[in-house]
């Protein structure tokens, strides 16, 4: 079994429900077990500012799926949520990113691991750090990366139905 971290984001069609539903769907992926989920966070969009804020979270999976097979499953879930790719960094019903897969470094046309630029994105690092504070990225503790970022615009949602498991 391998360990994978998945970033979730939505800012369309009731994004809190989209992320909650996607967490449930991740828990039912074949050959996989969801072993943890962060809280939900409201975050401003990274790209064009003429769109609503995002709801973000991170989930941890133990899986027997290969990285590309897991990516296929994630993209199928995005399509199930009617994801449309109209513009780069634009609004979306659901975005699922394979952030980490064990300590694998991969660079293919379809998949790059660790996920590019995740070390400079507070909307990824804040929920990932909540879930796995002892994790390292590029041979540095997550806390070191997070200390360099402005996480002030990120707001943890406390009144959601998501029940995160203990940190990993």
Catalytic positions are 82, 92, 95, 97
Rounded CA-CA distance 23/99 in Å is: 15
Q: What is the DSSP letter of 12?
A: S
Rounded CA-CA distance 21/42 in Å is: 16
- HSE at residue 20, side-chain half, CA atoms within 13 A, is 11
Q: What does the block give as tokens for 152? A: 């002030």
Q: How many CB atoms lie within 10 A of CB 163?
A: 8
Among residues 103, 116, 98, which one has the least CA distance to residue 8?
Answer: 98
Residue 143 CA from chain centroid, whole number = 17
């Amino acid at each position: 079994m391998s360990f994978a971290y998945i970033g979730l984001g939505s800012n369309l069609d009731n994004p809190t429900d989209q992320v909650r539903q996607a967490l449930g769907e991740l828990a039912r992926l074949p050959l996989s077990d969801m072993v943890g989920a962060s809280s939900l966070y409201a975050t401003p969009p990274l790209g064009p500012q003429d769109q609503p804020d995002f709801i973000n979270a991170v989930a941890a999976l133990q899986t027997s799926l290969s990285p590309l097979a897991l990516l296929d499953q994630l993209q199928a879930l995005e399509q199930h949520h009617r994801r449309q790719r109209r513009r780069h960094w634009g609004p979306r019903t659901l975005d699922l990113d394979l952030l980490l897969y064990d300590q694998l470094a991969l660079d293919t046309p379809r998949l790059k691991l660790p996920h590019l630029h995740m070390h400079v994105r507070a909307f990824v690092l804040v929920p990932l750090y909540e879930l796995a504070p002892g994790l390292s990225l590029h041979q540095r503790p997550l806390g070191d990366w997070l200390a360099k970022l402005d996480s002030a615009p990120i707001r943890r949602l406390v009144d959601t139905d998501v029940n995160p498991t203990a940190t990993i």
